[in-house]
Structure 1
Amino acid sequence: MSKHLRGIKPKISTDQHPLTRMPKTPAWFSTYARDEWKRAMPMLIARRVICAADLAQVETYCCMAGLVRQIEQERQLGGGIIDVKLFGVQNRAAQTARQIAATLGLDPVSRARIASGASDDDDHDNPLAV
């Protein structure tokens, strides 16, 4: 069976043309997105896992993570009252940020895959594998 059909994520490895310097923070970012950019980008560059083509994905991650923080800040300033509509937006933004973080290697599981260096390919034990 193909490893792509088994739900196994591919090993994250260094890019062929990784960024070596942090790009300028997008001017249109909110304060919270800008903070996330400054936190995440140095890690991604140090690991050499992103290239210029990945910047849109990093921007989206930062915007979603920033939106989660912004909504939480507004909720706290409003006396802690939960607005059902804003909670739904915050929940979807958090889910999107989490998914993108996993693809970028910003969560513990994906960092472990980077660090382990172990191959996920176990087809060599299966005589029927193609």
Structure 2
Amino acid sequence: MINEYDKLPGLNFSAFRGTESNDLFILNENEEVLNYAVPYGGYDVVIGTEGKDALAGGFTSEGGITAFLKGGNDTFESGSGQAKIYLGKGDDHVRSIIGPDGYQDFFYGGEGLDMITGIYDDTDILKSIENRPS
């Protein structure tokens, strides 16, 4: 479990850094500070808060990310080359960059979902989606 985080001087966010192994991120409940999780390698699970969470990771060629981000304006960014599961609620901003990668991905968000993903091949669950609220 990731229990190390850095509160960078002068910046209003906490950065939780992953390892090259399998990690579990349980983000803090703190409305004043943005929780910023950075998974890296392995099969990582991120459990968010009711507040504003940001998740950037998955830019490695192996592993996977499962993200449960609860409420608030959450941001999820990931790359290709891994399996991704995203379950969100609230005004979420999801960006899954570049496909096809042959991994199965699943994204689900609540009201106000802003989702941009790459174009996937036939082995992926989502082939393409661009859904922005008007």
TM-score per shorter chain, which class? under 0.3
Higher normalized contact order (CA 8 Å, seq sep 6+, divided by chain length): 1
TM-score (norm 2): 0.19
TM-score (norm 1): 0.19
Structure number with greater Rg is: 1
Pick the structure with more helix per residue: 1
